[in-house]
Chain A
Amino acid sequence: MANHSNSTKNAVSFCLLPSDLIHNILLYLALPEIMGMKLVNKSISYLISDQNFVREINSRSKSAWWLFVYKKRWCRNAVLEGFTDQSTRWFKIAIADLLKPVISPFEDLYFMTASANIFLFASNSKRQVFAVNLVSKTVKEIPASPLGPRGTSSWRRSGMKLVAERERFRFLFAELVNDRPVLFEYSSETNTWLSMEAKENTGNLPRGVEREGDCIFLNVTNRPHGSVVVAVGSQSNNAPPVIIRPRIDVGGNNNNNDRQQVAVGFSNWGSATDRLHVYGDGHMVIIRSSGVDDKSSSEARSVRKLRSIEVWGLSRNGEYWEYISRVPSDLMKKISKDYGVMMGCLEKADWEIKIVLMSNHECLWQMFWLSYDMETNSWTWIPLPDCNMKGLNMAGIAFSRGLTLS
């Protein structure tokens, strides 16, 4: 680009670019970067505060995915970090100052879930849930649910859902009460809980099962051969939640090619360690692995190798889990490393399934983010920069969309 240096040159600087060009540049950035630009000088700050630009950023942010990780060494220096594929780095999300007036720094907090600008934390010692709103900079204490105060270990990821829109949010979870699946729903508007016993599925699934975007799925129990899921309309309209009992029918004596293919090379059926299920939003990932060494000494068994990752969804009538797709082998080669233990998290929205898998091998954390596009039937691997987890504990991980500028 330096071949033309002998003629005259304009002296354009960044601030002299027309505002629409600067706006276009900013649209490529992640929110914390845009906020950082705001501090550069007054003219840029003014451009970023432009109402039309804010509206544009907020509307784009609605569909931008974030992965949040809450990590801690001791409760005093816990850090919330977020990654979005719009950038190439983890961002620290500063919540300590917000939490300080409400929650003692010694409190043992666990990050449960997030949606839009709301982040839910559970306190183990207070047995309470707190909602942190990053934009309004408020922390709200959520009253105990009808099941009473509970510690962090009682919450299950696939059984709860936070749905936030601007200031308002609903927090739902499903639980077995006297062997009956019950839906509990908290609304921030009324600051109260509702509980509703779910009805058996008599063939009339909520409309949303056909139009998935309209439905929230909460897993009540997850067993190797089937789950109990509660489906509820995503708009709060008091329609009773419905119980779905999908079976997992892998390697059975059916003629379905896909399912037979899935079962190939899998000899230890039923051994829980060879098959990890991760549930969320009416979907499931099955992660198959095997001991690295075939000698079944306990030491060899403790190191595992990933074999396959498949995504499954609910069948139309909700009676079984249906195979959808699997990570192609070239992608598997890139992500398949030896590991000791693994956990994962799955979210689905607008025909996109996001999966994060975290494994630990000899105290080293490995984290990978996979994305499956249901419309194009394609898998993408979003490389995550090192999250510096060495020596730290994971106190919660969640996907979220809709973090906004204001």
Chain B
Amino acid sequence: MSTAATADASSSGDTTEGSVRLLTLQSEDGEVFEVKETIATQSVTIKGMVDDDCATSTIPVCNVTGRTLAMVIEWWNKHEIGAVSNEKELKEWESQFDTIDDKSDRDDVYDLLMAANYLNIPTLLDCCTSAVAEAIKGKSTDEMREFFDIKSDFDEKEEDALRKENQWAFEN
């Protein structure tokens, strides 16, 4: 990007901090966040907007609440190149996503999944997807229902038919 273009962008409401451009993101519920462009472009969606020069004013992040967006930004900060000195530290930080036994943690992961999907953040998407999968592993159907807080809408006949269909898997 040329200097002229940067100056242009700041005059139209953008701010710069040193040589790093800041982007303004607004959550669905109106919270406003200023994020370094270099960090926010971990989102393929935002990177596309920046590349197309559409990121010059406030970027509305629909479907993502301020609460979730704050978590997404925390993720970006940790995953900025050079932010964490080693891979081990990053893995340790990421390990908070490993246990989602609490309902509130679970809800956070669903929200983050939706946000990661909407903003197209591959690393966050993979992490949350595998966190949910890890939590399902080893659970029986009843345990899965309890875990997801889902009531079965099958009648006995339908459930029996499904069990018969994949008979071999149901002695666990």
Contact = CB atoms under 8 A, between A and B. Distances in A.
Given A10-B114, A13-B110, A33-B136, A39 B65 contact: no
A37 B133 CA distance: 11
Contact of A31 (B144, B163, B169): B169
Could you tell me the dominant secondary structure of chain B's interface residues?
helix
Contact of B138 (A8, A18, A87): A87
Given A37-B144, A94-B168, A28 B152 contact: no
A92 B107 CA distance: 32
Interface stretch (A40-48, A151-159, A202-210): A40-48
Contacts of A9: 65, 67, 107, 111
A268 to B, nearest CB: 44
A41 B152 contact: yes
Contacts of B137: 28-30, 33, 87-89
A14 B113 CA distance: 10
Contacts of A4: 66-68, 70-71
Contacts of A10: 63, 65, 68, 111, 114
B37 interface: no
Which of A41, A45, A405 has most B Cβ within 10 Å?
A41
B121 to A, nearest CB: 13
Given A1-B108, A4-B70, A38-B162, A98 B167 contact: yes
Interface in B95-146: 96-97, 104-105, 107-108, 110-111, 113-114, 117, 125, 129-130, 132-134, 136-141, 144-145
Interface in A1-27: 1-18, 21, 24-27
Contacts of B148: 13-15, 40
B45 to A, nearest CB: 15
A224 interface: no
B153 interface: yes
A354 B154 CA distance: 41
A27 B130 CA distance: 9
A2 B104 contact: yes
Contacts of B108: 1-2
Interface residues of A, number: 52
A36 B140 contact: yes
Interface string B10-21: 000000000000
A21 B169 contact: no
A35 interface: yes
Nearest to B134: A28
Contacts of A5: 67
B162 A39 contact: yes
Contacts of B132: 14, 25
B34 interface: no
A29 B159 CA distance: 21
Contact of B171 (A21, A42, A94): A94
Contacts of B141: 36-37, 39-40
A137 interface: yes
Nearest to A96: B171
Nearest to A22: B132
A97 interface: yes
Contacts of A35: 166, 169-170
Contact of A25 (B129, B140, B149, B153): B129
27 contacts: A1-B105, A2-B108, A8-B29, A8-B65, A13-B148, A14-B110, A28-B133, A29-B136, A31-B169, A32-B169, A32-B172, A33-B136, A33-B138, A33-B139, A35-B166, A36-B141, A37-B141, A38-B166, A39-B162, A41-B151, A41-B153, A87-B137, A88-B138, A92-B172, A94-B171, A134-B167, A134-B168
Given A21-B117, A91-B169, A92-B172, 4 more contacts: A26-B133, A27-B133, A32-B170, A36-B144
